[in-house]
Amino acid sequence: MTRVLIVDDEPQLLRALRINLAARHYEVALADDGGSALRQAAQFHPDVVVLDLGLPDIDGVEVVHGLRGWTSVPIIVLSGRAGSQDKIDALDAGADDYVTKPFDIEELLARIRAVTRRASPHETQPVQIRIGERTVDLAAKTVSGGVRLTPTEWRLLELLLRHPGRLISQRQMLTEVWGAGYAKETHYLRQYMAQLRRKLEPDPARPVHLITEPGMGYRFAP
Amino acid sequence: MTRVLIVDDEPQLLRALRINLAARHYEVALADDGGSALRQAAQFHPDVVVLDLGLPDIDGVEVVHGLRGWTSVPIIVLSGRAGSQDKIDALDAGADDYVTKPFDIEELLARIRAVTRRASPHETQPVQIRIGERTVDLAAKTVSGGVRLTPTEWRLLELLLRHPGRLISQRQMLTEVWGAGYAKETHYLRQYMAQLRRKLEPDPARPVHLITEPGMGYRFAP
DNA sequence: CGACAGCGTAGGGAAACCGTCAAGATGCGA
DNA sequence: TCGCATCTTGACGGTTTCCCTACGCTGTCG
């Protein structure tokens, strides 16, 4: 079932879309500002995000940036502003499509079908990754052996696992998992990397998959 | 280089797009009806197709179907008809995006960037460089053969590798790696160049890739 | 032949960094 | 309101990395 996150500050629109999408057997989550949108995206893991640019707290383009920091979920932008520059900014920030209000609900549905159709083969690619004796499923958010991870642990692990073999800088990890204001709190990294190792590594004291690169960052070695 | 196939029956539009895209270093192919569009797509293998729905011979939606029969190349549909049903039909036929004429050329370019960005996540080209028997990946910060480098070693090596064959002055290396106050500490250079050679050169005593230019600086010879 | 300048190598102390244990603070559901 | 899971914060010992000093080598030039 396709999961849709709708972000808009008009209750009417939210309601209309929720009803229409639910009637077509989409699973729907709602958010009415940028902050809750980012939180919802992390928890709900939608297959597509419908995002209004005119939000009360954060600029919509910033929300796109925030999402693109850690996910490639398709984003369809809504906006009342018909100006072309808005479209260009949103698309270049990483949005996949742009619809100007007022729009026909059928057209939005068609665009949702279009972006999810393109993204769906991506979904079938292996999201199961082995770490030692454990198997991690990023899509289902499960780890074999009855291991459970907290939300923060998931975000951190996902960031590493999505770039196998690549060095992820401390700065990148901190800003993408905790936020832009935490770029220097390397303490958190040590704390949570230790927890991940305890839960995933065969011998947590001698990690072979979650590798430290002193002074630079961490790396997931498959 | 991204390859774009433009299908439209208006010579003016074809010309305008061709010029704009060529100026931005796209490779462009043109077609003015559905038949040649399908032929061109087969021969030219574009990375994205810009397709006008109002063609003289075949209905645009049929062209979409024809393309989707064998390729998943992103398709951006153009149309003068603003009616929503057109959009829905085209999107459901397999198009990826829809732009209504008249459109801002910048907007179309942004949409081209959006669909190509999505279609080719492989564009994150691995910057791999060979040094003797070792392979260095600057993006992933890895060296083949289990070799590990420290942060300072990486900074120094990156500076050299980003300018293959070029002489890098001691002054430049010192200021870029250690800071403006270290411009005369040539000592550090010898120290770290020796370490890099030990880790990367087949015979550290006889360097063939990390070359000393006495009195001047160092050079990376590919 | 000797002085000198530039380069390569080795090793030790200091500082920065990392892993770990432990405890306080916070938020959420019962 | 309480209890639990999670997130923050603090403290300490071990390790890596960096900075710095010392010394041998080579080629040039007087």
B217-220: strand order across its sheet: B167-169, B217-220, B210-213
- Are A88 and A172 in a shared domain? no
Give the nearest chain B residue to A113 (CA atoms).
B92
Question: Which residues, listed in sequence order, are joined to residue B31 by a DSSP beta bridge?
Answer: B7
Would you say how long chain B is, in residues? 222
> pLDDT per residue over B63-93, tens digit each?
888 788 667 788 999 988 777 687 788 888 8
> pLDDT per residue over B88-108, tens digit each?
888 888 888 888 878 888 888
For residues B182 and B175, give the distance between their C-alpha atoms in angstroms, rounded to a whole number.
6
Task: Name which of A164, A180, A141 is nearest A45 in CA terms.
Answer: A141
Mark which of A119, A149, A184 sits at the end of a domain: A119
pLDDT in tens, chain B (222 residues): 788 999 999 888 888 889 988 888 888 999 988 888 888 887 788 889 999 988 888 888 888 887 886 677 889 999 887 776 877 888 888 888 888 878 888 888 888 888 887 765 544 456 789 998 999 999 899 999 999 999 999 999 999 998 888 899 999 999 999 988 898 899 999 999 999 999 999 999 999 999 999 989 999 998
Number of independent structural domains in chain B = 2
- A97/B97 touch (CB, cutoff 8 Å), yes or no: yes
Using DSSP's 3-state secondary structure scheme, residue B43 falls into helix
The DSSP H or E segment spanning B218 is strand B217-220
All residues of chain A having their beta carbon less than 8 Å from the beta carbon of residue B94 are: 117
Residues of chain A with pLDDT under 50: 122-124
- B114/A97 touch (CB, cutoff 8 Å), yes or no: yes
**Which among B91, B113, B154 has CB closest to A110?**
B91
Q: What is the CATH number of the domain that holds B136?
A: 1.10.10.10
Three-class DSSP labels, A42-92: HHHCCCEEEEECCCCCCCHHHHHHHHHCCCCCCEEEEECCCCHHHHHHHHH
- Are B180 and B77 in a shared domain? no
All residues of chain B having their beta carbon less than 8 Å from the beta carbon of residue A117 are: 94
pLDDT given at position B126: 62
- Are B115 and B12 in a shared domain? yes
Q: Is the CB of A70 under 7 A from strand D?
A: no
pLDDT given at position A124: 45
- Which residue segment(s) compose the domain that A59 sits in? 3-119
Q: What is the CATH number of the domain that holds B84?
A: 3.40.50.2300
Three-class DSSP labels, chain A: CCEEEEECCCHHHHHHHHHHHHHCCCEEEEECCHHHHHHHHHHHCCCEEEEECCCCCCCHHHHHHHHHCCCCCCEEEEECCCCHHHHHHHHHHCCCEEEECCCCHHHHHHHHHHHHHHHHHHHCCCCEEEECCEEEECCCCEEHHHCCCCHHHHHHHHHHHCCCCCEEEHHHHHHHHCCHHHCCCHHHHHHHHHHHHHHHCCCCCCCCCEEEECCCEEEECC
Q: Is the CB of A203 under 7 A from strand C?
A: no
- Are A78 and A148 in a shared domain? no
Q: Does residue A208 belong to the interface with chain B, where contact is any CB pair within 8 Å?
A: no
Q: Is the CB of A82 under 7 A from strand C?
A: no
pLDDT given at position A42: 67
- Are B88 and B113 in a shared domain? yes
- A96/B113 touch (CB, cutoff 8 Å), yes or no: no
- Are B25 and B42 in a shared domain? yes
- Are A18 and A104 in a shared domain? yes
Nucleotides in chain D near protein beta carbons (<7 Å): 5-11, 16-22
Q: Does residue A191 belong to the interface with chain B, where contact is any CB pair within 8 Å?
A: no
Distance of CA A149 to the CA centre of its chain: 17
